[in-house]
Structure 1
Amino acid sequence: MKDFEEYLQAQDYAANTISSYLFAAKQLEQNISPITNQSLLEHKEWLVSSFAPKTANNRIGAINVYLDFLGYNGMRLKGVRVQQKPFLNNVISNDEYRRLRDGLTRDEDWFWYFVVRFLACTGVRVSELRKFEHAHVLAGHMDIVSKGQKLRRVYIPANLQTEALSWCTREGKTEGVLFGDRSALTSRGIALGLKRAAERYDINPDVVYPHSFRHLFAKNFISKNPDIAFLADLMGHESIETTRIYLRRTAAEQRRAVDEAIDW
């Protein structure tokens, strides 16, 4: 498995993804031998019957990457269909975002202010947030190569770019990453820091987590620019179907719409 681990690292997979992919590959090797199309289908059946659909799909995706690594000439497994909820849950609202942003501004807590701003205004994943460098702020964008070797450009809006450059000047940042050393500032550390900031400003911590701001970015963008194909490109989605979830309302928004509409 050491060779597979090195292969994943060379493909620039996140540490958590590498860990889960290694687990899935080891599980596959333990459960079936040799690897054949039939044994792969039997393993998939075991995964689907033993785990939730999302977990099964994660394992299936990992197995397909492992098969690519092995150069296996047979089949690749298809994921199982996951029925999505017709609403979004635990997503930060614009009001909560403004309270968090304005509170951090009042307290001059600029580090977490810019963590929140970059998450909300660029739609990046937390692993991508840690890659922002001073040079990207100067350029106004960051280019990311996805797992499928597809180039994606993350734009830094002009107002955020101006703010961030001023912050860098005040902090004496002229090069390198924006948010500390990448190895020191983990994804978990960012998530915990956001929870603490939410509690500080009396905001429900359940809605303040890195991916919540990605939802906020997408929902706000699509409300101002209905080009869903463009949004899919901005977010790095392989399929527009993945992006469609952001057209849905949150459960609270659905509740409010029903209460306002039904007056009979």
Structure 2
Amino acid sequence: MSELTISSERLTAFAAHLRAEERSAGTIENYLRHIRAFAVWLDGSPVTKETAAAWKEHLLTQDYAPATVNAMLAALNGLFHFLGWDGCRVKFLRVQRRLFRDAGRELTRPEYERLMETARSRGQERLALLMETICATGIRVSEVQYITMEAAKRGRTDIFLKGKIRTILLPEKLCRKLLKYAQKHKTASGEIFLTRSGRSLSRRQIWAEMKQLCRYAGVEPGKVFPHNFRHLFATIFYRACKDIVRLADVLGHSSIETTRIYLTTSGAEHAQQLNRLGLIL
């Protein structure tokens, strides 16, 4: 049997397969990045069950979170299945669901407000409105493209992602801000959040602008990334309505188990709950 190798042709075919499966651009980018990292680590060695397992062991020495390791393995297993190399697939790490979040990764409402205030004071109007839009609607960063002039006028937007369509309502105050911003930048139709050259904002650019803002806002960079604004929305939404099924629909989750992850309390909150039990006499 010929040696199994990861070639550019195979990666191109796999990327086309992922697009045909209607995977998001972000997912495809992440999959390819993880696979290329594995290919570099192989350093010319063929792909085997043993080398894939050794890669898994290597990842465990690199201080990655278990969920990150599993995401990297998912990319690899996906490629192996596509190529018919199922014998090379490796098992995921078994991760027990955590009872509480790491406080070092939790974005609080005061920190969110400080980020907003800092962005506005620095004249970063687009970034401030973008953060506000994600946090007020719970959309993914890949869904920012659906915030259009037409959506702001209707007060809602239909998002098509992962083979599903869901409707997101936009708060009236947010719509007014979006329309005012669009008018100021002479956007008559289509996407509202654009670069100076009129192109869609990339995930990488949004991340970079948020990270840079941290230095001036005094917020830990590890807390500031688009998905954490979505987490903050989920937390505040659930506290207001106590309806996890409705929240799952708003977030676009197929499983309530996924939504439960968003609602995990911080370590400090968990400790307070334990203290209120009054079982230490």
Determine if the alignment matches structure 1 residue 3 to structure 2 residue 8.
Answer: no
Cα separation, 1, equivalents of 2:252 and 2:94: 21
Cα separation, 1, equivalents of 2:186 and 2:247: 34
The 3 A distance-change label for structure 1 pair 152 and 47 is: farther
Partner AA of 1:157 in structure 2: P
Cα separation, 1, equivalents of 2:16 and 2:78: 13
Partner AA of 1:92 in structure 2: L
Q: Corresponding residue for 1:141?
A: 156
- So what's the TM-score if we normalise by structure 2? 0.72
Residues 15-24 or 231-240, more deviating: 15-24
Partner AA of 1:3 in structure 2: A
Task: Tell whether the 8 Å contact from 2:56 to 2:73 is kept in structure 1 after alignment.
Answer: no
Determine if the alignment matches structure 1 residue 85 to structure 2 residue 98.
Answer: yes
Determine if the alignment matches structure 1 residue 195 to structure 2 residue 211.
Answer: yes
3-state SS, counterpart of residue 151 of structure 1: strand
The 3 A distance-change label for structure 1 pair 81 and 236 is: farther
Q: Deviations over 1:203-225 (max 9, x none)?
A: 33332221211110110011011
Task: Tell whether the 8 Å contact from 1:24 to 1:62 is kept in structure 2 after alignment.
Answer: no
Partner AA of 1:195 in structure 2: K
3-state SS, counterpart of residue 265 of structure 2: coil
Cα separation, 2, equivalents of 1:212 and 1:73: 35
Size of the aligned set, in residue pairs, is: 254
Unaligned residue ranges in structure 1 (runs of 5+): 33-38
Q: Corresponding residue for 2:63?
A: none
Q: Percent identity?
A: 29
Partner AA of 1:214 in structure 2: R
Q: Corresponding residue for 1:19?
A: 32
Partner AA of 1:249 in structure 2: T
Partner AA of 1:160 in structure 2: L
Q: Corresponding residue for 1:251?
A: 267
| Mapping for residues 11-160 of structure 1, pairs under 5 Å | 11=22, 12-14=24-26, 15-20=28-33, 22-23=35-36, 30-32=46-48, 49-52=57-60, 53-62=66-75, 65-66=78-79, 69=82, 79-88=92-101, 89=103, 90-147=105-162, 149-160=163-174
3-state SS, counterpart of residue 95 of structure 2: coil
Cα separation, 1, equivalents of 2:77 and 2:164: 18
Partner AA of 1:8 in structure 2: L
3-state SS, counterpart of residue 172 of structure 1: coil
3-state SS, counterpart of residue 98 of structure 2: coil
Unaligned residue ranges in structure 2 (runs of 5+): 1-9, 61-65
Cα separation, 2, equivalents of 1:183 and 1:65: 31
Determine if the alignment matches structure 1 residue 242 to structure 2 residue 255.
Answer: no
Q: Deviations over 1:172-227 (max 9, x none)?
A: 21123222148663322212211222322333333222121111011001101111
Cα separation, 1, equivalents of 2:169 and 2:51: 42
The 3 A distance-change label for structure 1 pair 261 and 199 is: farther
